[in-house]
Structure 1
Amino acid sequence: MFKFIWDRFEELLGSLLLFVMVAIAFANVVTRYCIKMSLSWTEEITVNLFVWVVLLGTAYAFRKDNHLSVTLLHDAMPPWAQRACRAFSLIVCVGFFAALCWLGMVEVRDEMDLEVITESLAIPVWWYTVATPAFSLLIIVRILERAWQDLRNGRL
């Protein structure tokens, strides 16, 4: 069961979050046009969940090796240079997401210390921003999984 969930984590959570976002946005449209009342909290939730979905999508793309890339220069290189470029790009990506994870943790800690709350729902802001370090860590794990697979099949 754990392997099933781990292998599909991004799809499962991303689908659930997208469903929640669409349902909330739809409810806001219905209330705005049918009873002339807008639900102010819907924008707050949908915008913040969108950030979560983007980070999950990034992890998914690394897991499936489906990132958009321009390979013209890469394909013109000899195999050893292709492997070196791939290794370099994975190292840069790990560094970027490690920095994002660290800075995200600093941000969450600051929001907790300052007790920052949201405008509409008056809940702690860190409830939303905790996704940045958490999903950055997930992305790093997916990059390392991709690197391991690349090592095993000769792409690195």
Structure 2
Amino acid sequence: MGKAFRAVEKYFEPAIIVAMLGAIIVLVFADVVARFAMSTSIAPANEMARLAFVYMIYFGVSYAIRERRHMRVTLLLDMAPPALRRVLLALAETVFLGYSAFVCWLGVVITANAVDRGQILTATEWPTAVLYAAIILSGGLSALRLLHSLWRIVVLGDTRLAAQMDV
């Protein structure tokens, strides 16, 4: 069980990202062929490609957090002694955790409002909740990744950044 969980933990976001990129390539290719071969467009393909792009980007956020490759300014961290560096990293991850939890909560609010209003996507006629669910999933997964990062910093004393890690 532990080995399977570690594999899922390690490859979950990359698998989603690759699947979404593959879907985008297939859908856009199909639409281009339809435009040139039959002089028409596949409206659902365009919309599904946009959805796949949104999911790819949002899952990329949590993957960047997992790999400690999210954007940050490290000037103060680089100059700080190890004890202060640990505190600054923990503080930064805590602030980012609060932000991610807030984004997740806002995603729930936006999705609930869209469901209450019965909003649908035009081409596929799917509920817009399908689109907004990416915000909820990304915010929640990012919060979990940040909790794990905080645990590594506070409990294990790991203050390495992605550039210093064996990636």
Q: Judge same fold: TM > 0.5, yes or no.
A: yes
* C-alpha RMSD of matched pairs (Å): 1.6
Counterpart position of 2:117 = 114
1 CA distance for matches of 2:113 and 2:51? 18
Counterpart position of 2:15 = 12
Per-residue CA deviations over 1:86-142 (Å, capped at 9, x if unaligned) read 111101111111111111001111111111111111111101211211221011111
Per-residue CA deviations over 1:62-93 (Å, capped at 9, x if unaligned) read 11112233322321122232122211110111
**Of 100, 103, 109, which residue of structure 2 is paired with 1:100?**
103
Runs of 4+ in 1 over 3 A off after TM superposition: none
Structure 1 residue 13: Cα displacement? 1.3
* Partner SS for 1:8: helix
TM-score by length of 2: 0.85
**Of 39, 42, 47, which residue of structure 2 is paired with 1:44?**
47
Structure 1 residue 155: Cα displacement? 3.3
Give the partner amino acid of 1:151. Answer: V
Aligned residue-pair number? 156
Counterpart position of 1:87 = 90
* Partner SS for 2:40: coil
Give the partner amino acid of 2:63. Answer: Y
2 CA distance for matches of 1:146 and 1:52? 23
2 CA distance for matches of 1:96 and 1:44? 29
Structure 2's unaligned 5+ residue stretches are 160-167
2 CA distance for matches of 1:25 and 1:10? 22
Preserved CA contact (<8 Å) 2:65 2:146: yes
Preserved CA contact (<8 Å) 2:94 2:150: no
* Partner SS for 1:130: helix
Identity rate of aligned residues, in percent? 28
2 CA distance for matches of 1:135 and 1:69? 19
